[in-house]
Amino acid sequence: MLGTLALGILAGPALAQSMPSGAEGETAQSAPASPLPPAIASLRAQDARVLDLGYRLTTGNARFCHHDRTASAGLLLHDMAAYGDGATLRDLLGLEGDVGVQALVPGGPAERAGLRVDDTVLAIGDMNIADIAMEDDKRWQRIETIREAAEDLLQDTGTLPLTVARPDGPLRIVIAGTPACRSRFEIGEGGRAVADGHRVVIGPEFAAIDYSDPLLAAVLAHEFAHNLLHHRAWFDANGGRKRKAVRLTEREADRLMPWLLANAGFEPQAAAQFFEKWGPRHGGWIFRARSHDGWDERVDFIEEEIARMNALGSADWSQHFQHEELPGDVSVPGR
């Protein structure tokens, strides 16, 4: 993590962004009933952007994720029950139920299949949304149940069947997923970027949230690297987060960043450029604790990794990436 390795807990999902035309010339999104409040519009734009960048990272590196491969549908769902005033927001978005399409990857599997932003989702596979039990004090759990069901279907079958509401009645759409590494990318809350082993969560107040796409992709690549390198599992198996191990896992994630970026279609140099922009202003408090390398040291490690990639003429990190020697006694599968 750029901050700390921690479990990112979402207080409530962000919203979706308007997307280009979908299948058969249909618009990908119906206009909301009235303009969205600026804060909501900003969050939905952030969420769609993070979804798209995460999709590029996971699909671009899929052929190298030998232990973490799945399929991606290129969409994000949200549940009105997770918001403070979900009924009002549901009316603004024109939804016919609580669960809607939050964001779509432009040209991704879900959009190609004909799904639209702000479609009302009635069922995931054979699971009807209306049948999912929901506790009053844990209303956010329903969207997690839905997302887990979608991930299981994509993992097991490579497809995601959805039933959505349309003017002529319910429509079943079967999305053929694209091979991808297993990680979900989300906007959460606060000002940190974190990974928990299967998710990457970045807060809307994170200092680099408005950086250019290549630099924000670098942030996401760093967190994604923690998941691919199984750092959370390694800490759990080796007695927790000791400073030396934290520093080495951060260095390992930094060094993997340019490989992941290259396979996602970004210049690997964006990894170094991110730290050159972010580090002098925002990195001091971490680096004084020495649980992380200094930002200039991190740039040096990344530059060395880029030179190695260039010499190899390959971005196949599954074959050529050299892992750090972590000081634990328990090995973790996939490392």
In total, how many domains does the chain have? 2
Is residue 333 domain-resident? Answer: no
For residues 165 and 27, membership in a common domain is answered with: yes
pLDDT average per 10 residues of sequence, the chain (335 residues): 36 32 40 73 92 98 94 96 88 95 97 97 97 81 94 97 97 98 94 95 94 98 98 95 93 98 98 95 59 91 98 97 93 86
Query: How far apart (Å, rounded) are the C-alpha atoms in residues 120 and 142?
Result: 15
Query: How far apart (Å, rounded) are the C-alpha atoms in residues 149 and 140?
Result: 15
pTM for this one?
0.88
Cα 42 from chain centre:
18
For residues 27 and 171, membership in a common domain is answered with: yes
Cα 255 from chain centre:
20
For residues 29 and 174, membership in a common domain is answered with: yes
Is residue 200 domain-resident? Answer: no
Is residue 326 domain-resident? Answer: no
- Domain finish residue from 130, 161, 180: 180
For residues 242 and 297, membership in a common domain is answered with: yes
Pairing of strands 99-104, 75-79: antiparallel
- Domain finish residue from 180, 199, 218: 180
CB 291 within 8 A of CB 247: yes
For residues 172 and 62, membership in a common domain is answered with: yes
Is residue 335 domain-resident? Answer: no
pLDDT score, position 21? 32
Amino acid at 287: F
pLDDT score, position 329? 87
For residues 252 and 142, membership in a common domain is answered with: no
Q: What is the 3-state secondary structure (H, E, C) of the chain?
A: CCCCCCCCCCCCCCCCCCCCCCHHHCCCECCCCCCCCHHHHHHHHHHHHHHHHHHHHHHHCHHHCCCCEEEECCEEEEEHHHCCCHHHHHHHHCCCCCEEEEEECCCCHHHHCCCCECCEEEEECCEEHHHCCCCHHHCCHHHHHHHHHHHHHHHHHCEEEEEEEECCEEEEEEEECEEEECCEEEECCCCCEEECCCEEEECCCCCCCCCCHHHHHHHHHHHHHHHHCCHHHHHHHCCCCCHHHHHHHHHHHHHHHHHHHHHCCCCCCHHHHHHHHHHHHHCHHHHHHCCCCCHHHHHHHHHHHHHHHHHHCCCCHHHHCCCCCCCCCCCCCCC
**Angle (nearest 5°) at CA 22 between 20 and 28:** 60
CB 76 within 8 A of CB 144: no
Is residue 10 domain-resident? Answer: no
pLDDT score, position 30? 53
Which of 294, 278, 290, 261 has the alpha carbon at shortest distance from 193? 278
For residues 58 and 174, membership in a common domain is answered with: yes
Give the CA dihedral 184, 188, 191, 193, nearest 10 degrees: -10
For residues 264 and 134, membership in a common domain is answered with: no
Q: Rounded to whole angstroms, what are the CA distances from 277 to 84, 156, 236, 270, 295?
A: 36, 41, 33, 10, 10
> In a 10 Å sphere around its CB, with 0-12 CB exposed, 13-18 middle and 19+ buried, how is residue 36 labelled?
middle
Domain that holds residue 108: 23-180
Number of Cβ within a 10 Å radius of residue 267: 15
Is residue 187 domain-resident? Answer: no
For residues 83 and 132, membership in a common domain is answered with: yes
Query: How far apart (Å, rounded) are the C-alpha atoms in residues 315 and 245?
Result: 26
pLDDT score, position 2? 57
Query: How far apart (Å, rounded) are the C-alpha atoms in residues 207 and 82?
Result: 26
Domain harbouring 94, CATH code: 2.30.42.10
- Domain finish residue from 139, 161, 180: 180
